[in-house]
Amino acid sequence: MKPKNIAVLLSLLSISILATAKVTPEEAARLGKDLTLTGAEAAGNADGSIPPYTGGSKQGEPPAGKERSIESYPEIVNDKPLYTITAANMAQYADKLSVGHQTMLKRFADYKMDVYETERSSVYPDFYYEATKKCAVEAELGNNGDSLVNAVTGIPFPIPKSGLEIIWNHKVRYRGTGTKRYNTQLAVQTNGDFQAVKLREDVRLQYSYPNQKPEDLNNTLIYFMQITTSPARLSGNVLLVHETMDQVKEPRRAWLYNPGQRRLRRAPNVGYDNPGTGADGLRTNDQFDVYNGATDRYTWKVLGKKEMILPYNAVMLAQDKLKYSDIAKKGHIDQNLARYELHRVWVVEAELKPGVSHLYARRTFYVDEDTWTILHSDIYDRRKELWRIHESHNVTQTWKKRFVPVAAAIYDLQSSRYLVMDLSNEEPLYEDKEFALDYYDPANVSKLSAK
């Protein structure tokens, strides 16, 4: 091998080693000091527009039936915007706006971004913090970054060394351990019309259970049952997924049940850029939760940490007094209901590897340092032109000690349509529920679909 090629190989090896190296005990000791217990910078920023982290929201548990009422969020209910960004003044804030948000401001005369005081509201259970400390010095990436090793329950890489580690933090972040939730999707047409596709999702977040060892996971992070309840032509369809830790070694196990055919079949195409359920072609499977599933088709690069204006503390969008028609408007969601704040985020760029296929050639992710949640993604087509813009609107449920999505908007610039998902305003309240493992046995699916 020529010396030049040897040098390149050694360089690549050093990058690979760096990308999967565990942090030292001395680095991990920063957690709970200058870093929060989940790895964010505890201090505020220089001008005070991002405050220091002081333990998160102190909100009490809302009265029963008021969990989705803005009045139950006393730290936010009386907030007024600090300022509003429009096409007329966006140049003033350009360094803190994603390409996608700048594009939306230019494209729609009525699009605006109301920016509120930053609330570092996140708070999590003590067992999650303890598990994160342990993960910090033990967790590694295996199989070229496509699998997670020696990690369970906590954030695996609170002091990340690579883009892949940041994405893994997002994929396994804490959202509870089990829930029955409702996910309504609206594919909004150019004239503002839509038909609601209503999904019930029964989820067991196996990775997040306390008092486990990594080997207890049996290579499975999440068990997921999705039942379509409306419209009638789709009602009874069921998607069952066992989300594996290493999807290259063992692709996610997925099955589809069609009530018309009355049969359950394996669904190997539930992943990557295959179309998502009930989305009218406006999202891919790996866009569920902004990004999920295997990471092997992209290279992942950290572009740094930045202060960005992004959706946060979306209590107005979560209100159960809203109808879906109050949210979905022509061109975009009602921006009077969206709340934006200035937060520090990790910026991660995913570039499609040569020789592999995906609809999206490049994706830029903005990952919140406090919660490891992807708040926003700009998505480029194979011509490297901006194609789709994906916003995730989340709230801190302090009494549940978690940060969860209440709405997401995916804008398709080419078709001038958009998808709203993760809505439950007109549905029953989510229900925390611990589903037994045998609930997710494929043999159980046809019985459930009949209910």
Distance of CA 378 to the CA centre of its chain: 14
> Is the pLDDT at 1 greater than 90, yes or no?
no
- Least confident range of 8-17, 50-59, 90-99: 8-17
The reply to whether 129 falls in a domain is no
* Average of per-residue pLDDT across 217-232: 96
Question: What pLDDT is stored for residue 402 in this prediction?
Answer: 97
The region that residue 50 occupies, defined by phi over 0 for left and psi between -120 and 50 for alpha, beta otherwise, is beta
Least confident of 11-25, 122-136, 265-279, 287-301: 11-25
Q: So what's the pLDDT on residue 227?
A: 95
Amino acid code (one letter) for 143: N
User: What mean pLDDT is predicted for residues 49-66?
Assistant: 95
Contacts 24+ apart (CB under 8 A), 58-65: 58/398, 59/396, 59/398, 59/399, 60/398, 60/399, 61/399, 62/399
Give the mean pLDDT of 251-273.
Answer: 92
Residue 434, φ and ψ in degrees, nearest 5: -95, 100
- The total of structural domains in the chain comes to 1
> Mean of the per-residue pLDDT values for the chain?
93
Average the pLDDT over each of 45-54, 174-183, 437-446 and give the range with the smallest value. 437-446
Residue 264 lies in a domain: yes
At 412, the amino acid letter reads: D
In the structure, what pLDDT confidence band is assigned to residue 20 with cuts at 50, 70 and 90? low
**Beta strands, E only, 205-247:** 220-230, 238-244
Question: Please, what is the Cα angle at 286 between 418 and 206, to 5 degrees?
Answer: 125
CA distances from 327 to 317, 421, 427, 430 (A): 8, 11, 14, 19
Residue 213 lies in a domain: yes
pLDDT above 70: percentage of residues in the chain = 94
- The reported pLDDT for the residue numbered 21 is 61
* Residue 155 counted as domain residue: no
Which residues span the domain enclosing 79?
70-120+174-449
Average pLDDT over residues 331-337: 98
pLDDT band with cut points at 50, 70 and 90 for residue 450? low
Residue 449 has pLDDT above 80, yes or no: no
Q: Dump pLDDT digits (tens) for 367-401.
A: 999 999 999 999 999 999 999 999 999 999 999 99
- Whole-number pLDDT of residue 93: 98
Q: Can you give the CATH number for the domain in which 283 is found? A: 2.50.20.10
Q: What is the pLDDT of residues 282-306, one digit of tens each?
A: 999 999 999 999 999 999 999 999 9
More confident residue, 18 or 320: 320
Whether 217 maps to a domain, the answer reads: yes
Rounded CA-CA distance 431/101 in Å is 34
Residue 402 lies in a domain: yes
Is pLDDT at 190 greater than 50 in this prediction? Answer: yes
Over residues 257-284, mean pLDDT: 93
* Residue 451 confidence (pLDDT): 56
Q: Sorting pLDDT into bands at 50, 70 and 90, what band is 280?
A: very high
Report the phi/psi class of residue 374: left, alpha or beta, with left for phi > 0 and alpha for psi in -120 to 50. Answer: beta
pLDDT at 412 over 80: yes
Where are the strands (E) in 340-401, listed by range?
Answer: 340-352, 362-368, 374-380, 386-397
Give a yes or no: residue 148 inside a domain: no
pTM of the predicted model over 0.75: yes
Residue 15 has pLDDT above 90, yes or no: no
CA atoms within 13 A on the CB side of 42: 11
Is 98 domain-assigned?
yes
